[in-house]
Each structure stands twice: as C-alpha cells, then as structure tokens.
Structure 1
Amino acid sequence: MPLGVGTAIFLAELAPPQVSDGLTFLVELLAAIPSVIYGLVGMFVVVPWVRHSVEPALSKTLGFLPLFQGAPYGVGFLTAGLILAIMIVPFITSVSREVLLAVPRIQREAALALGATRWEVLRVAIIPYARSGIVASILLAMARALGETMAVTMVIGNRPQIVASLFEPGYTMAAVLANEFTEATSDLYLHALIEIGLVLFGVTILVNGIARLILARLAIHPGRT
C-alpha cells in the first residue's frame, strides 16, 4: 500500500512529464496483465528465488519465530503473498494517480498563494482532498486480492493444512474451489465446496460493506486529517 500510493504521488505531482508518461504506461500495463501471467512468473522466477535466497535468509535471522520456521519449499504462503502484492501495487498506483490528478487546480494554487512549499501543498491540500479516492483504491485492491484464484493457486502449494509458518504450502478458499470442484463426486463433497464458496462470498460482502462505511465517513469529513 505505501509503495502504490507513494508511486502515485510521484507520478501525479513530482515526476517530470516525460518520466511520468513513461512510468504511467508501464504501471497501467502491469495492472492489465492477466493473473495467469503473474502465476507463471511466480512459478519460474519468484519460487526459485524465494526457495534459494529469501526463505533461508529469513530462517537464519528470524527462525526463532514460528512464522519463519520450516523447510524452504519455495511454494507456500510467503510466495503467494509476494505475488498478490506485486499484482495489486500497479492497481493501487493507477487508480490513486487518477484520483490525485482529479484534484482541482485551485486547491494547489490556493495553498501556494498562502506560502506553502511543494510538500506542504501535498500534505495539506492535495492528499486530504483525494483521501477518500485513495482509500477506495486500496479497498478495491484488497477485494481483488481476496478473490484472486489463478495466480495464488499456481504458487501456494495447494496443501490442505493449517500451519503457523509462512514457508509451508497451503490453500486459499478460492484455490480449493478451483482445484476441487471438478472432482466433487459425492453430494457431501459438493456441498462442502458450495459452503466454502458461500463463506468466501460472505467475507467479500463484509469487506465491501466496511469499505462503504469508511468511504461514507470520509465523505462527511473530507478535510479532516
């Protein structure tokens, strides 16, 4: 989240036009890439890197914590989290940039006329005005991450277990549905998968409801910091 919002601020307010245009095109291209491509990159690039470099280093330095214990499989919760982060950062950046560009020019000019510096204009005039839109972009990215199936399925390991370590393979509800639904040969099996789908649907509705409440509160007090 900080990386996405920070990049959006840089592109919208600080970068020269030539740099901003080039980086914006790259960010929008990354946001439009299908999730299966991220999954393939995860399998052939991120998984070996995590297995040989990241997980051994984390185990060596933070191995006393349950989160960083276990064998370095490469596939697992840590890799899936990294892939999801890579996927949603361009989305947050793209939407937040559009929100920042939509701030009226008079907001900037008024702050500058009062003697504000460039950073003070950002902190006092631009970001508070665009805050609800930035929060909306973050919540939309969270909703996308909650429902992401293909990329996560390809790198999480797909092992039905609940563990404390980020190194271990596991399952998400969306991955369970993608892998198991075509093999549901009994009514009990099928009903269990349908219940998982209902739980996932309920979690998504809950997150969206919380997002709407937050946005409504921000809309009532748009200038409060």
Structure 2
Amino acid sequence: MTFVFFCKWRLKLGDLVFSNLTKAFSWLAFLLLICVLLSLIVASAPALHAFGFHFLLSDSWDPVNGDFGALSAISGTLMTSVIAMFIGVPLSVGIAVFISEISQGKISKTVRTLIDLMAGIPSIIYGMWGLLVLAPFLSNYVQPQISDAVENIPILEDLFGGPPLGIGIFTAGLILAIMIIPYISSTLIDMFRSVPPVLKEAAYGIGATRFEVVRKVIFPYVRKGMIGSLMLGLGRALGETMAVTFVIGNSKQLTSSLFMPGTTISASIANEFNEATGRLYPASLLELGVILFVLSCLILGFARLFLLRINKKSEGAKI
C-alpha cells in the first residue's frame, strides 16, 4: 500500500510541476511583451509629452527644428503591406493548391523545396536584388507604360503618377509580396493536406469539379487556419525592415502615388536611429516603434474578433 501511495503521489506531483511550469512559460511570454511595450513607452516619453496625439496626424519630419510626425511613416507602412497582401495572398493560395491538390511526385517536392528555400533567404538579399534588378526593370519597362496608360484618368493618375524612378512604395510592396509568399504558402500546404480525404472523395463522387472541391470543401474546412496564415504574412510585411529600406526611397513626404518614394516605420527607425541626437529625435523614433507595436496588436486583435464571429455563425448554423 505504501508503494502504491508513493507512486500515485509521485505522478500527481509530476503533473502538478509540469502544468505549473508550462503555465509559467505562458505568463513569461506575456510579461516579456508587456516589458517591451513599457520600455518603449518610457523611452519615447519626451516625444509623447511634446507632440501628443498630433504626432499621428503630422507628416512633418524636421530633425533640425525638432518637429516630428508619424503620418508619412504610418501611411507608407500600410500602403506597402496592402500591396504585399494584394499580390502575395492569391499567389500563395495558388501555390498551395497546386502543390497539395494538383501536382504529384517530383514536381510537388521540387516546388515545395523551392518555397522553403525562399523562406530561408535573408531579407537583405531581397533588398539588394530589388535595388539592383527589380527597380531598374520597373523603371525601364513597367512604370512608364502604366503611367502613360492612366494619364487621362484622374484617380488612377494620382495613384500611378510620377517619374519612373524604380524605387518607391510599389517596389517595396512587391518585394514584401515575394517575401511573404513562402510563409503563407507553406502553412497553407500543410492545412490543405490535413483535410480528410473522405470529404474530398465524397465531393468528387457527386460530380464536383476540382475547383468546386477546393472552394466548397477545402477552404471552409481550413478557413480558421487560413486567416491565421494570412495574419502571419501580414505581420511579416508590417515589420520587415532591411529589404524595404533598400527600395522604398526613404522619403518623409506624404504622397498618394505608389511610384513615388516613401518610408515605413521600421525603415525610418533603421535609417536614422544611429544618427539620432538630442532629446526629441530618438524619442520620436521610439514612439514610431510604439505605434508599430500597437498597430500590429490591433490587426491581430481584429483577426481574432473575425475568427470569433466565424465561430458564432458556424455554431448558429449547426443549431
């Protein structure tokens, strides 16, 4: 009896230690996140006190006179991320569908290997390739034709106007699209392959086409994971630094044209933090970091709310 009691006590103690240890790890991650946010807020306190809410609405960036604003950096961050998602998401979904549902054998393995290799390329290599290869190509062959095509259309002319410099917001968004493709497509491939074969076979058995199986069986089955995968790619696009710094032009002027130079929050911090002197200059750059932190959290929060709405709708449909 004593031996049995000792064994049960040992098992309970082991479970208790294991559960508390994993709980501590979870809280550690949360505490690290809070510590990062608090340290950024404390370091950016001079700028927060000097500019207040006006910092978000001003596009001024004058280190000489100590006048700073985040609007141009926020605008560039959102514009490049939207371009990246607009281009990268359809390509990623197409690649994932091809590898998981269409291709077979060596072709599938080869494409999957290439996608994994793309994820391992350092971001600075993407930036150098964008500056030396992609930007001249866009400047010589793409941007002039697009600008000429939309010359007499007011809205499109504002969006795609300007000299064909090659570098700019559109180029940065295109580089980001290429960079997020392996992250999104790799996760989608695993999700699509996790769909039970019996569901797909049943759909094929009643005469569904491959497109209908993908749209009506696979996508609904993995939609929660798909949203998480897209948020992973969006987070990568929002926070990317070096590749964007090479090709965006690093201009603080607010512009509506995608072909004009601009800047992002991360690119501004990377470019100017080493040379930031005085009291307000480094504090303003750190406040940009706070804005990027909060912006990322808000986007992820909206994604979670969207998932909760999907869950409620699906539960209501079952009832």
Q: Which residue of 1 aligns with 2:218?
A: 126
- How many Å apart are 1:105 and its aligned residue? 2.3
- How many Å apart are 1:214 and its aligned residue? 2.0
Q: Which residue of 2 aligns with 1:95?
A: 187
**Structure 2-normalised TM-score?**
0.66
Q: Which residue of 1 aligns with 2:120?
A: 32
Matched, 1:143 2:235: yes
- Match of residue 129, structure 2, among 28, 36, 41: 41
Q: Deviations over 1:50-89 (max 9, x none)?
A: 1111111111111341112111111111111111111112
- How many Å apart are 1:33 and its aligned residue? 1.4
- Match of residue 204, structure 1, among 277, 288, 296: 296
Relative to structure 1, the CA distance from residue 80 to residue 131 in structure 2 (aligned partners, 3 Å threshold; closer, same or farther) is same
- Match of residue 189, structure 1, among 278, 281, 300: 281
Q: Distance in 1 between matches of 2:178 and 2:132?
A: 15
Letter paired with 1:201: F
Q: Which residue of 2 aligns with 1:4?
A: 92
Q: Which residue of 1 aligns with 2:77?
A: none
Q: Deviations over 1:98-148 (max 9, x none)?
A: 110111223223334444343333232222101111221111101110011
Letter paired with 2:125: I
Q: Which residue of 1 aligns with 2:258?
A: 166
Identity rate, percent = 46
Q: Which residue of 1 aligns with 2:149?
A: 61
Q: Secondary structure at the match of 1:217?
A: helix
Q: Secondary structure at the match of 1:183?
A: coil
Relative to structure 1, the CA distance from residue 218 to residue 20 in structure 2 (aligned partners, 3 Å threshold; closer, same or farther) is farther
Name the count of aligned residue pairs.
Answer: 224
Contact 1:47–1:155 at 8 Å: present in 2 too?
Answer: yes
Q: Distance in 2 between matches of 1:71 and 1:118?
A: 45
Q: Distance in 2 between matches of 1:41 and 1:222?
A: 45
**Structure 1-normalised TM-score?**
0.93
Q: Which residue of 1 aligns with 2:82?
A: none
Q: Distance in 1 between matches of 2:295 and 2:96?
A: 29
Matched, 1:107 2:199: yes
Q: Distance in 2 between matches of 1:68 and 1:116?
A: 42
Q: Secondary structure at the match of 2:260?
A: coil
Relative to structure 1, the CA distance from residue 102 to residue 62 in structure 2 (aligned partners, 3 Å threshold; closer, same or farther) is same
Q: Distance in 2 between matches of 1:124 and 1:53?
A: 40
RMSD between aligned alpha carbons? 1.8
- Match of residue 268, structure 2, among 173, 176, 200: 176
- How many Å apart are 1:219 and its aligned residue? 4.0
Q: Distance in 2 between matches of 1:7 and 1:213?
A: 28
Letter paired with 2:264: T
Relative to structure 1, the CA distance from residue 116 to residue 72 in structure 2 (aligned partners, 3 Å threshold; closer, same or farther) is closer
Higher mean C-alpha displacement, 100-109 vs 78-87:
100-109
Letter paired with 1:25: T
Letter paired with 1:44: L
Q: Give the greater-gyration-radius structure (CA).
A: 2
Q: Distance in 2 between matches of 1:121 and 1:58?
A: 37
